[in-house]
Amino acid sequence: MALPPSVFIPVAQQIKKNVYTNKGFNRLIVEKPFGKDSHSSKVLLNALGSCFKEEEIYRIDHYLGKEMVKNIMSLRFANIFLGAIWNREYIENVQITFKEPFGTEGRGGYFDEFGIIRDVMQNHLLQILSLVAMESPASLDAEDIRSAKVSVLKCIAPITKDNILVGQYVKSADGSKPGYLDDDTVPQGSNTPTYAVASMFVDNKRWKGVPFILKCGKALNEQKAEIRIQFRDVKDCIFPNHSRNELVIRVQPNESVYMKIMNKKPGLSMDTVISELDLSYRRRFSDMKIPEAYESLILDGLQGDHSNFVRDDELDEAWRIFTPILHQLEREQVQPLKYVYGSRGPEEATHFIESRGFERDRQEYIWTEDSHASPKL
C-alpha cells in the first residue's frame, strides 16, 4: 500500500473483505507515513489490527533495506575490535545525516502536511539510530532484532525545544532555484521545516552522556546519507594537531565504510596527516550487484521475514519521542531559520552541533572515492 494515508483504512478493509485467504498466508506491506503523531498512529494501528494480525503486517521503511544500514549489525557484532570500543568510554558523539540537493519541486503540497521531521527524522534516522545503539540481539531471529531496537528507543526521552533546531530554505544565491515558499503548491506563509537537527541521549549503561545528533534537510549542498561516529581524544597525545578518529558508514551514494586515522606523513619528518582505512563497495565488490532497498524488502516480505520491518511497539516508541516537540513547534508557530538553497543549512546549525561535542578536523581532510590513490611523494 503505497497510497495516501487517508485511504489506508478503507483499502485495508476492502482487501480483507475481498482477497483475504484462510487457506494460505496474507501479507500486507504498508508504506509510510504511519500517522502524524502518537494519536493518529494508534488510530491507524487499531484499524489495521482489526483487519490483519500483527504478523501479517509489514510496515516498510526503505532505509532498513539499504545495504549499508543492513551492514551495521555485521560491523558491530562480527568484529571484536569495533565491538570493544562501541560505548561511551571511547565514543564522543554520533551523527546521523541525511541531505538532499533538491527542494520540494512541485510536491510542496504533500510535503507541507508532514515536514522534514515526520518525513525523514522520525523514521529513517531513528531506525538507523536504533541499529547503531542497540545491544546484541539474542539471535538473528526477526523478533529478537526488533525487540533489541525497541529496548533502545525506550531509553530515549522525548525531544525538547532546547535540543532541536529547524530551518526552511530560501532561493539560491544566484536566484536560479526557488525558495520553499516560492513553490505554488506550498501554503502561503508556511512554517513547515525543510531542515532539522536534533540531539538526544540513550540513557543506559552503554551510552549514558553520548549525544546522538540527527540531521536532515532538503535543498542542501549535496546528496548524502551517512553515520559518523566520532571517538574521544587520545589522552596525553604526544603528537600536536592530532584529529579525532572517526568511523564513517556511507549509506548513499557510493556505499562505503572508512575509518579516519592519524598517520605519519611520508618523508623525513614525524608530522602526522589524516588518512583512512577504506572499504569502498564499488571497488571491493565491483563484480556484485547491490539490490535496491525496495527490492530487498519486498523479497523479505514475500519470504515472511520481519527483520527489517517496523513492529507496532517500535512505532509507538518512535512517536512518543517526537510527538511532543512536533505539537509544540506547530502550536507555537515556531519560525524556521532561513538558509540558502544549495548551502549546508542554517548557519546556526554549526554551533548547535559543535555544542553537542562534535569537533571538526584540526587538519584539512576531504574523503573521496579516490582517496585511496597513492600519494605523490
* Residue numbers annotated as active site: 124
Task: State how far the alpha carbon of 14 is from the alpha carbons of 40, 49, 368, in Å.
Answer: 21, 14, 51
Measured CA angle at 201 (ends 62, 64), to 5 deg: 10
Three cell numbers at 219?
Answer: 535543498
Question: At residue 199, what is the residue type?
Answer: S
Three cell numbers at 68?
Answer: 549499508
249: β partners: 227, 257
| Nearby residues of 331 by Cβ (< 8 Å), 6 or more positions away | none
CA distance 121 to 37: 13
Give first-to-last CA distance, the chain, whole Å.
57
State the DSSP H helix or E strand holding residue 93, giving kind and residue range, or none if neither: strand 91-99
Q: CB-side exposure of 360: number of CA atoms within 13 Å?
A: 9
CA distance 237 to 189: 52
Rounded to the nearest 10 degrees, the angle between the axes of helix 126-133 and helix 142-153 is: 100
Three cell numbers at 166?
Answer: 529547524
Region for residue 305 given its phi and psi (left: phi exceeds 0; alpha: psi -120 to 50; beta: otherwise): beta
Three cell numbers at 365?
Answer: 581532510
CA 57 to chain centre: 23
| Nearby residues of 186 by Cβ (< 8 Å), 6 or more positions away | 104, 108, 109, 111, 112, 180, 192
Let me know: does 317 contact 153? Beta carbons within 8 Å: yes
| Nearby residues of 71 by Cβ (< 8 Å), 6 or more positions away | 249, 257
CA distance 309 to 297: 8
